[in-house]
Amino acid sequence: MKSKSLAEARALFRARKFPDVIRVLEREVFRYREEFEYFHLLGFACLRAGDFGGAFSYLSRAHQLDEDDVNVKLGLAAIYLRRSEDERALKQWLSVLETHPSNPIARRGMTLLRKGMTPDLLQEVIDSGRLKTLYPPLPSRGRALRVLVIGLAVLAVSGIGWFAFKSLPARGVERPGIDVISLPLGLPRLIDAGTDFAYIMNERDVRDTFQKAKDDLLAWRDNRAAVAINRILLSNAASAVKERARMLKGFITPASFDTLRDAFSYAAVSSRPALYDGCTVRWKGKIANLKAGASAITFDLLVGYDSEKELQGVVPVTLGFAIDLDNGTALEVLGQVVADGATLSLNGIAVHRLP
């Protein structure tokens, strides 16, 4: 039974037997697809066992189930830091400090970033074991692990399944940290010489596009902000400008079906994938080449073929959560664009079965 497995995993986690926690829980991923506690325990067991890939997958799912859990945010921040994704680590720590201003772990992480995380310093942090000081504290061996269990609502109406995650915060909510990211003062120039760029800008273009990205982020128009940021990254803007643009990109938040704005078509994105990297899209199609693994489901989405009338293209999709699917199922997929050069794929956020 579910409760028996989770009870055993809790006891093993309190005893610091992290490989045993993984052994007990990992084979149950499809049975616990809605259980925050399951992904919380398994994610932190992987983190403490040094399996950072598994930790990232399971903690990401836990974060989808409960976006407000402080420990999950801290765990993800530590993983981002280890992967040299400083902007994403910063975003998680800022989120923690927004609700818990005195959190010592988030403050410790912010202090490290302020010092400047060069590759050598990061390796020193890892080798010395100091990275573990950025992990959430372990529960007492003598007390039950206190966790918050929140399940997603699963709606079934007239045969149409709906699987989606929590919506973005209300549009009036502030986004701390964005205003402090600005173009560096005293920079000799904002552009570099050369023509081997997808977009050629002058200095005024750079300033205007950078400010537009900030304004769009503050207005929760993340898709428009992502396009503006990507335009800078693909342009002749100076490296110092691009560094600040990457920091802004760390604030891009995936939308839900209910909150998606400024949606982009498959035709637009497929023509210039790099310009839309990080944007949230919703495309309809049918599933092909379905593969279910231990921590992810992958398939090809036959875009536009949901009614078997027009095949617009084929897009690889990865789902980091469990759901029952079959080849040939018609779906609407909400996903975040991942561009690798001219190659396009989606990280799935949610799926909506079509009748």
Task: Determine if the pTM surpasses 0.85.
Answer: no
Q: pLDDT for 53-111, tens place per residue?
A: 888 989 999 999 999 999 999 999 999 998 888 889 989 999 998 888 878 888 888 88
Q: What would the two tokens of residue 126 be?
A: 């890892």
Average pLDDT over residues 330-337: 93
Residue 258 lies inside a defined structural domain of this protein: no
Residue 140 lies inside a defined structural domain of this protein: no
Measure the CA–CA gap between 258 and 153, rounded to whole angstroms.
14
CATH no. for residue 107?
A: 1.25.40.10
Q: What is the pLDDT of residue 141?
A: 55
Cα pseudo-dihedral 98, 100, 102, 103, rounded to 10 = -110
Contact 25, 322 (CB under 8 A): no
Phi, psi for residue 330 in degrees, rounded to 5 = -85, 130
Same domain, 245 and 279: no
Average pLDDT over residues 193-201: 87
Contact 248, 178 (CB under 8 A): yes
Q: What is the pLDDT of residue 196?
A: 85
Phi, psi for residue 202 in degrees, rounded to 5 = -95, 180
A 10 A CB-CB count for 336 gives 20
Q: What is the 3-state secondary structure (H, E, C) of 5-71?
A: HHHHHHHHHHCCCHHHHHHHHHCCCCCCCCCHHHHHHHHHHHHHHCCHHHHHHHHHHHHHHCCCCHH
Q: What is the DSSP letter of 167?
A: P
Residue 156 lies inside a defined structural domain of this protein: no
Same domain, 19 and 91: yes
CATH no. for residue 279?
A: 2.40.50.140
Asked if pLDDT for residue 189 goes beyond 80, the answer is yes
Indicate the pLDDT class of residue 140, thresholds 50, 70 and 90.
low
Number of domains comprising the chain: 3
Indicate the pLDDT class of residue 247, thresholds 50, 70 and 90.
confident
Q: What is the pLDDT of residue 164?
A: 38
Query: In a 10 Å sphere around its CB, with 0-12 CB exposed, 13-18 middle and 19+ buried, how is residue 334 labelled?
Result: buried
Measure the CA–CA gap between 151 and 193, rounded to whole angstroms.
53
Bridge partners for 66 per DSSP = none
Q: What is the pLDDT of residue 155?
A: 31
Measure the CA–CA gap between 15 and 9, rounded to whole angstroms.
10
Asked if pLDDT for residue 184 goes beyond 80, the answer is no
3-class SS of residue 335: strand
Lowest mean pLDDT among 32-36, 69-73, 209-213: 32-36
Same domain, 243 and 275: no
Indicate the pLDDT class of residue 207, thresholds 50, 70 and 90.
very high
Last residue of one domain, picked from the residues 226, 252, 278: 252
Indicate the pLDDT class of residue 311, thresholds 50, 70 and 90.
very high
Q: What is the pLDDT of residue 298?
A: 93
Q: pLDDT for 267-303, tens place per residue?
A: 999 999 999 999 999 999 999 999 988 778 999 999 9
What is the domain range of residue 275? 266-353
Q: What is the pLDDT of residue 177?
A: 78
Indicate the pLDDT class of residue 122, thresholds 50, 70 and 90.
confident
Measure the CA–CA gap between 166 and 306, rounded to whole angstroms.
26
Measure the CA–CA gap between 309 and 15, rounded to whole angstroms.
57
The angle, 0 to 180 degrees and rounded to 10, between the axes of the packed helices 222-233 and 203-218 is 150
Q: Count how many residues are written for the chain.
A: 355
Phi, psi for residue 171 in degrees, rounded to 5 = -65, -20
A 10 A CB-CB count for 111 gives 9
Average pLDDT over residues 180-204: 83
